[in-house]
Chain A
Amino acid sequence: MAALLKKFGGLPVLALVVLAIYPFAPVVDWALEAATGQALHIDRQLVNIFIFSILALALNLQVGQAGLLQLGIAAFFAVGAFTTGVLTVEKYPFQIGFWGAILISPLAGAIGGFLLGAPTLRLRGDYLAIVTLGFGEVMRIVLLNLENITDGPRGLNPVPAPWLPTLVRDAMSPAGDASIGTLRAMYFLALIVLAATVVCLKLLERSRIGRAFVALREDELAASCMGIEPARIKLAAFTGGAALAALAGCFYATNLTTTAEPNTYDFNYSIMVLCCLIIGGLGSIRGALLGAALLLGFDNVISPLLTRLLQTALGGESTHVMASFSNWRWIVFGTALVVMMRLRPEGLWPSSPQAEELHESAGEA
């Protein structure tokens, strides 16, 4: 069995095949519906997980692979979402649709990343943390304040669904239900982009730049004495990560049909993404995917469930702040960060070299 799996590309390919079939045969949905009597729509959750995974991979490129402590990834996510908004909503003359936006929003993200990175990436790591954190705040404030452009707290909407050739659209929509067709289109688009991202990042890991990343993480001074230019490599990673985050933002806005309010993209959001990297394993691509799934799973499945349990235990509709489990999420995430750093700094599913790096240093303690 294991040999058979290996022959056809191993776990990643298997996962891809299962995910590609899933919307047409949502077995888990059926089983859960039979058990609880409630429809769960796991494919809808999966779209969110795919998009969030792209974002997590973007941050992983910057923090995990290039070793840049970026605490404002949400800003670039927002750049992607709002670029998509401006380029597609009816209010503006552009209206280039999803397909145009998906090309231009990563470009906008890359420009943003380059402009922020160029003057600051030569700074020490800690300073970069504070600069990116600040940039995240600034971006949120700017989006909130430029009301004429971004519609302020309301956000830009409606962001149109991607155009599809009639043939594809019909194939996607069972019994002519267009909303399911759109959902499935987003599902497959996000899945394809996620798979392509994973492949590209894997290739990058094995390339010269990937080698330079490892060298810089291990010993920046020695690496620069060997002719590697830290600032340039870091800038490339930072710009690339920003572009990827903006791409995720484009998907996010399209899937949500709105850019959402700028306050969505706050510091907490950035940390949530970082959190899923830490849980999954910093620098590990599979870890980032696992982390994204766990985190969104917690938010969308476990948290409502626990809230219901809490409410039942308290006997009815308590309005107290502690009675809703969603108010506990930062304690949960915070504790997760602290505990992970203490007990398993390499994350739940690390890639092997990173595990060695982190373990070695922890072992010296």
Chain B
Amino acid sequence: MLDTVLQQLLIGLTNGMVFALVALGYTMVYGILEFINFAHGDVFMLSAFVSLTLVGALGLNDQSSAGALAGGLVLCIVASSVFGGLLNLTIDRVVYKPLRKAPKLAPLVSAIGVSFILQNVGLFWGGMSMQIFGGGGQAAAPKAFPNLLPATNLLGASSHVTLQPKDVLVIGASLVVMSALYGIVQFTKLGKAMRATAQDPSAARLMGIDVDQVVSATFLIGGALGGFASVIYSLYINTVHYQMGYQNGLYAFTAAVVGGIGNIPGAVLGGLLLGLVRAFSDQFIGAQWQPAVLFGILIVILVFRPAGLLGSTAREKV
């Protein structure tokens, strides 16, 4: 029993880290622009396709040498993060920016539209005639992401709890990235500008902050986080699919709302909480009920704490 609990804790923690990374992208954009960037999950998905393509092009698999693997992984992470960041930034520039002053519905609906376009792109990408995409015959099928890290149990073969190198990688890398983000937001000039803009965009503008630049930076960082998350997600789950952005994006957004949307520590807390709940409900209730359990919890939390766990109740100015 204890082993099961420990194992699920570990699974929950790793899943939660991925959720948290994606949730950060949602929450940062929401904090500043007050709109749900529906396309964020699909940026995450396409970034995973970038690293899958790279892995295929480099011919990496579980037989590759350690040096090649390390180099390939770093390349994947960099490429996916850059791709995610730039894609997110481009979407903002092309689609959302002209709608800044439109009614709130307009950017939201546009974001849903972009999300569909990106999903369709993912579907076509899956039809690429590369070996790693299964030759292109089955575009809609899930693609296998090769298991690049050794599947040894770090706690020894006899232990009932499995801790693999990829678990360590996910948790470690996520912690590093989150601390870096915290540092940026808390201590750099850009971070201060971001926090100021989130609090009151017009006041920030009066204070001489270039709000457009802050928004761009937010989309760039959020997209890069999503791209980074996509690599560690692919390494961990070993499957890439054109609809994974929707599913994980939904969970990640739920995590952001649970933690208190617009609140950066809240997103991390919400992600971890959701990851843990998911792991335990998979174990004790049944994986097929996963979405039902997660959204049930969302509703309960919103009823008792409408602003999320760490969010503060901001009232409309009169």
Contacts and interface: CB of A to CB of B under 8 A. Distances in A.
Would A and B touch once assembled, by the CB under 8 A criterion?
Answer: yes
Interface in B98-147: 98-110, 112-117, 119-121, 123-124, 126-127, 136-137, 139-140
Contacts of B253: 130
A122 B35 CA distance: 18
27 contacts: A69-B105, A120-B302, A126-B35, A127-B302, A129-B108, A134-B291, A134-B294, A134-B295, A134-B299, A135-B295, A137-B250, A138-B295, A141-B292, A145-B288, A271-B112, A278-B109, A331-B120, A331-B121, A334-B114, A334-B116, A334-B117, A337-B109, A358-B103, A362-B102, A362-B103, A365-B101, A365-B102
Contacts of B119: 330
A330 B108 CA distance: 17
A342 interface: yes
A274 B38 CA distance: 15
Given A333-B113, A334-B117, A321 B102 contact: no
B306 A122 contact: yes
Interface string A119-131: 1101111110111
Given A274-B112, A361-B101, 5 more contacts: A134-B298, A334-B116, A334-B120, A341-B107, A341-B109
A365 B105 contact: no
A70 B59 CA distance: 45
Contacts of A337: 109-110, 112-113, 116
A142 B103 CA distance: 35
A126 B119 CA distance: 22
Nearest to A126: B36
Interface in A325-349: 327-328, 330-331, 333-338, 341-342, 345
Nearest to B253: A130
A267 interface: yes
A224 to B, nearest CB: 11
B124 A125 contact: no
Contact of A69 (B108, B254, B298, B299): B108
A133 interface: yes
B318 interface: yes
Contacts of B124: 321-322, 327
A320 B136 CA distance: 8
B105 A336 contact: no
Nearest to A319: B137
B106 A341 contact: yes
B200 interface: no
A79 to B, nearest CB: 15
A341 B38 CA distance: 15
Interface string B32-52: 001110000000000000000
A338 B99 CA distance: 10
Contacts of A137: 250, 291, 295
B110 to A, nearest CB: 5
Contacts of B290: 141
Contacts of B30: 126
B103 to A, nearest CB: 5
B303 interface: yes
B257 interface: yes
B246 interface: yes
B123 A342 contact: no
A101 interface: no
Which among A122, A125, A131, A282 has the highest number of chain B CB atoms within 10 Å? A131
A250 B115 CA distance: 30
A102 B105 CA distance: 34
Given A321-B127, A321-B140, A361-B103, A271 B116 contact: yes
Contact of B289 (A130, A141, A330, A358): A141
Given A119-B303, A319-B137, A127 B102 contact: no
B312 to A, nearest CB: 13
Given A138-B291, A345-B106, A123 B306 contact: yes
A141 B298 contact: no
Contacts of B117: 330-331, 334-335, 338
B289 to A, nearest CB: 7
Contacts of A341: 99, 102, 106-107, 109-110, 113
Contacts of A364: 101
Contacts of A328: 120
A322 B140 CA distance: 11
Given A131-B302, A137-B295, A141-B292, A338 B114 contact: yes
Interface string A74-110: 0000000000000000000000000000000000000
A131 B116 contact: no
A221 interface: yes
A267 B246 contact: yes
Given A127-B306, A342-B99, A141 B120 contact: no
A129 B36 contact: yes
B288 A130 contact: no
Interface string B224-265: 000000000000000000000010001001100100010000
Contacts of A331: 116-117, 120-121
B99 A365 contact: yes
A274 B291 contact: no
Interface string A124-156: 111101110111011001101100000000000
Interface string B162-184: 00000000000000000000000
The 10 A-B pairs at the shortest CB distance, nearest first, are namely: A337-B113, A334-B116, A134-B295, A321-B139, A321-B127, A365-B101, A334-B117, A334-B113, A338-B113, A330-B120
B115 A338 contact: no
